[in-house]
Structure formats: C-alpha cells, structure tokens
Chains A and B, each alone.
Chain A
Amino acid sequence: MKSGEILFDGRNISAAGLKTNHERKSHERMMRGIRAKEIAMIFQDPMTFLNPVLRIDTQMTESIMLHQKVSRAEARAKAVELMKLVSIPSPEHRLKQYPFEFSGGMRQRIIIAIALSCNPKLIIADEPTTALDVTSQAQILELLVELRRKIDMSIIMISHDLGVVAFSCSRVIIMYGGKIVEQGTNRDIFHHPKHPYTWGLLNSINDPEDERGKELIPIPGSPPDLLRPPEGCAFVDRCAKAMVVCKRVPPPTSHFGEKHSCSCWLYYQKGGEGATHDN
C-alpha cells in the first residue's frame, strides 16, 4: 500500500508509512489476528475457493481451531452449528463430504459459514453471487441480509450487478478508474443519481419489473487504461457531458445533503441544489 489510512473499529490498520522491518513484522502479526477473525472475506468463485481434496469438516474446523484455540471436537460442534445457520440440511452427514459433492449454491453457503466461523465484525463479499444462477443468487442474498440482522455485522458487497446492490445494500459507492465517483444511500443512487457514469450504468440495464422494455442506452467506448491514467476525470472520454476542464483537472467533490456526494465538474458552483464543495 502506498499511502492512506484504514480505520477499522477506530484503529488504523494501514501498512502505509511503515519503515523498519520490525514495524512491518509487528503489523503483519496484528493483521493475522484481524484477518478471518474480525474481517472475513467471501470470494466470487465457490468452485476454486475450497480445496478439492479435503473434506468439508477439515476446511471448516481449520480456522475455528486456529483463532479460537478450541479442540477438534468443539470445533466440529461449532461447524455443525454454522451449517445449520446457513441452512445446509443434514450437517453432520454433509461435513464428511468433499466439495465436489455440493452444488454451487451449497458451496457458497459453506464459504459463508467459514467466513462467519470466528464471528467477524465485517465481511467483505467480493461478487458472492456472480458465479451462481438466479434462483441460488436470491437465496444467498436473502441469507446474507438475514445474517447481517441476526448477528450484527457489517458487509461490504462488491458487485457489478445493480440488482444485487439495490436489493442488499443500504449505502452505495460507485467506482470508476480507481476512484470513487459517487456515493450515497441506496435511494440516493438509484432514484437521484448525480454522476454521468451512474446515469450511464442505470441507462444500460433493463428493469425486469417494467411492463415495456425501455431502450437501452449503452455507455460508449471502454474503460480507461490505468497504466496511463488520464490527467483529469477518468470518465471524460465516455462522458456525454464532458467539458474542457474535465480533460485537464480532476473534478472536485460536491455534497448533496449528509450522505450523498459526487465527484464531477457538472456540480461545481451550482449552488442550486444545496451543494457544498471540497477538493
């Protein structure tokens, strides 16, 4: 990491600015206590995350024994409990099986169970349903939302599917070219989008609930080459509202109310909607 801070539960866990080997080592030691225990991760592809030659119980009890310092028997009991929590039928029997004996949706449930095993405060879910069919996608998302309520944790949901985001998230951050271009509550983003990229995303998809399909308006061009990042706004070459300034200077961030903000030159000095700016 080059620079910046990551505050987790009030403490800075960023490795930026660590100079000596000693500092780096003690930072790594601290992170080992945080990873999986306090911040757990759910990955996109449930087929590759699990080790194909180990039984499910070995894979589930591993991190429980490591982080909670309990015996194998206790860890197994906990694993059974977790499998019940993620609604896998007949857990005692299923624990003895290998990953190939599970369907995609069931494997993703196991990964969620592993992520939950140390009662994390935060789960980072990286496209958790992209590899799944619509029916299992709905099941997994319902499960995650329900678990979030039940065990009081936070979720960062990384997704390119706006339907997934609309269904499961309370706040949304829109990223483009490595930067945050807009953020706000779920309703801010879907009902009052401000950034031309957000407009583009919403225009290029179809709402299956609509009676009549609308015309799809795609975003022209393709994403920028980040090896040669553009000087100004990263979206300038694909933006219908691009101005001269967009090409040269990175846009300032404008705020609309408490939670909604957008980085775009369109809103600079447009006091009308109660916007305040910072650079």
Chain B
Amino acid sequence: MTTDHAIGTAPEAAKAPANGGPILEVKNLKRYFDVTKGVFAKPLSVKAVDDVSFSIQHGQTLGLVGESGCGKTTLGRTVVKIYEPTGGTVHFMGEDVTKLDAGGLRRFRKNMQMIFQDPYASLNPRMTVGEIIREPMDIHGLGTSRDREERVQELLRTVGLKPDHIRRFPHEFSGGQRQRIGIARTLALNPRFIVCDEPISALDVSIQAQIINLLERLRDELKLSYLFIAHDLSMVKHISHRTSVMYLGHIVETAESLALYKTPAHPYSQALLSAVLSPDPDKAARKKRILLQGEIPSPMNPPPGCPFSTRCPMARKICTEAIPELRQVGDREVACHLV
C-alpha cells in the first residue's frame, strides 16, 4: 500500500519517532468507580485499575492479559481518556494527557485511536461504509471533501476491502470484514498509537489469523504502536513484544513475551499460563496444570496486601500484610514478595 500521509499528518506526529523515548508512559494510574448502595450507605468504590505503571516503545506492541473483571478494558479506556483517571499520569509522546484541555484532547485523539471488541456493535448500522470511515476526518476537518473521498478509497484497499464497498452498509459484511471497516476508520486520522480491545475475540477462528496478520502488517508499514488487550493468551504471545499480566486491577508481571511464556515468575502468571491449552494432544496430555482454588475477590473489597494472596499456593504472612510493588527482577518487572 502507499503510505501517503498527506492528510492528517500533524507536525507532532512527524517528529515523534525521532526522540527515542517511549511513545506511551503510564505511571501509578488509578481508576475507581463509585458505587453507592442506598442513601445512607457509606460510599464504596470499585478499584478497577489500581496503581498501574507501564510503558510502550515506538513501533512495539504491549499485550495485556488477565481474566474477565481484572480491569484490562478499564485500563485501555482510561489510557485513551474515555474514562477520566482517578489518579496517576499518562504521558503520550512526551505530553501529560491527564492535564489536556479540550483542544489538546482533540489533538491527542487524532494520534491515539481505539479498535473495539464487537464489530457488530461498533459500526453505526445506518451509515454507509464510506461515511463511517470518513467521519473522523470530517470531525477533525482534514483535507477537502475530495481528499477525504480519496483517502477512504485508499484506506479500504489498505485493510483488504474493495473500493466499491464504499456505498454498502455494515450489515452486508461478515464479522471479519466489519472488523476491517473498524480498523480503516481507526486509521483514518493517521494515529501513532492504537488501543486494540479484544479485536479478535468475536471472530471465527479461521478469520482471527487474517485480522492478526493485518494488524501486524499495519504496525510495520505505518510504524504504529499497540496496546493489545485480549484473553486469548496464544494470540497475545504471537503479536506482542512485551506482555503484562493483570490481576484485580494490578499489573503483577511485565516481561518480554517469549520470556514470560517460557518462565513466568509471578505465581498468578504461572497458573494463568499453565491453563492455556495446546492444540496438540500429546503436549496437552503431558502438561501440568496449576488449578487455582477459590474465586477472584470482589474489587469492591480487595484483600489487604497482595491482591492474589487469597488464592496463591505460595502465600505467606507478609503477602496478607503489604501490597507488593512492581519492581525490576532480572529481565522483567514482577509484583511479588517471594520473587
């Protein structure tokens, strides 16, 4: 494809790859939701994301894995400022986005986009494919209407659809094709960074690989960086350079993907990865699984100390007393008292 950045290439986007630092740096990010049960009840808060730090380098993908309810989607949405953070900072291309005003936010959104999980719910059924892909450019007022028309055609080709699909409606497409339309819309503003929130989990197995390959190709050709949120651990390993494991609002381990999958250090990472099934009957039969006891505690009432202490097979006294910090241990960051 042609990497024509004529429209939508803001000056700050052009200089970005030069400065070597991470494209995104998240420090001590918190997002709490207030829940009040009844008028006289004490206000409670759900600590969906609690004190999370990570960074992503230019052109790299950070995978984010964890069970449902661990806060990974909330984290993704807080990073793109769909949710206002309760605390902490998000530095994107050197700028603290938590302090942006409306104009700054608009500039920021152009560079950071999101791909959603459900390709059926994330496209307006009453708009044509052309209108859907053009809308971000209309909102940001990029180029003339002729330019936009051309850009839509180009984007359709980029994601592997035909230019004559432009006048059709979303319902005429299969799930995989719809996800391609969503990706074309995401690319319309030439973003530098994309949060992919479970982009393949609603798709057929035979289609998932198509979308993964497309995302990888786009990353390399357009020099994109991704935060890739998913619960399919083998696909995350495939697409991510580094992977973070989340549990109950905390990141418990971040490491190079290959190293993490080979020798997980945190007891929760070990249990989670041991549960992944290999599509090979012999390996599946040989594998030792660590079966966790009990259930994930409620984020409204998290245990004192380590969030995983209630289910951890190795928990000791200190684990129930102090929250372990995410610290550098060898080649990775781990939050565990015992590592």
Contact = CB atoms under 8 A, between A and B. Distances in A.
A74 interface: no
Contacts of B287: 209
A253 B300 CA distance: 58
A139 B271 CA distance: 12
Interface stretch (B137-145, B147-155, B227-235): B227-235
A175 interface: no
B164 interface: no
Contacts of B274: 138
A220 B211 CA distance: 11
Contact of A134 (B67, B206, B209): B67
B283 interface: yes
A223 B281 CA distance: 27
A209 B177 CA distance: 30
B206 A219 contact: yes
Interface in A162-208: 162-167, 186-187, 190-191, 200-208
A268 B280 CA distance: 28
Given A138-B289, A218-B213, A209 B278 contact: yes
B299 to A, nearest CB: 13
A187 B281 contact: yes
Contacts, number: 128
B284 A208 contact: no
B172 interface: no
Nearest to B311: A135
Interface string A98-114: 00000111100000000
Contact of B283 (A137, A209, A213): A209
Nearest to B257: A213
Given A134-B275, A163-B284, A200 B206 contact: yes
Given A133-B68, A167-B284, A213-B237, A138 B277 contact: yes
Contacts of A212: 258
A166 B67 contact: no
A219 B211 CA distance: 11
A134 B278 CA distance: 12
A222 interface: yes
Nearest to B268: A135
A222 B174 CA distance: 8
Contacts of A201: 205-206
A213 B295 CA distance: 32
A131 to B, nearest CB: 9
Q: Is the interface of B mostly helix, strand, loop or mixed?
A: helix
B189 interface: no
A133 B231 contact: yes
A231 interface: no
Contacts of B208: 204-205, 218
A182 to B, nearest CB: 15
A217 interface: yes
Interface in A82-122: 103-106
Contacts of A203: 209
B252 interface: no
Nearest to B277: A163
Contact of A133 (B67, B177, B206, B291): B67
Interface string A72-87: 0000000000000000
B281 A161 contact: no
Nearest to B67: A133
B279 A163 contact: yes
Contact of A206 (B234, B262, B284, B285): B234
A199 B68 CA distance: 31
A184 B7 CA distance: 55
Nearest to B210: A218
Given A206-B235, A213-B237, A222 B279 contact: no
A24 interface: no
A9 interface: no
8 contacts: A106-B295, A133-B67, A163-B278, A167-B285, A200-B206, A211-B262, A213-B237, A213-B238
Which 6 residue pairs across A and B have the least CB separation, nearest first?
A163-B277, A218-B209, A204-B209, A138-B275, A162-B279, A208-B234
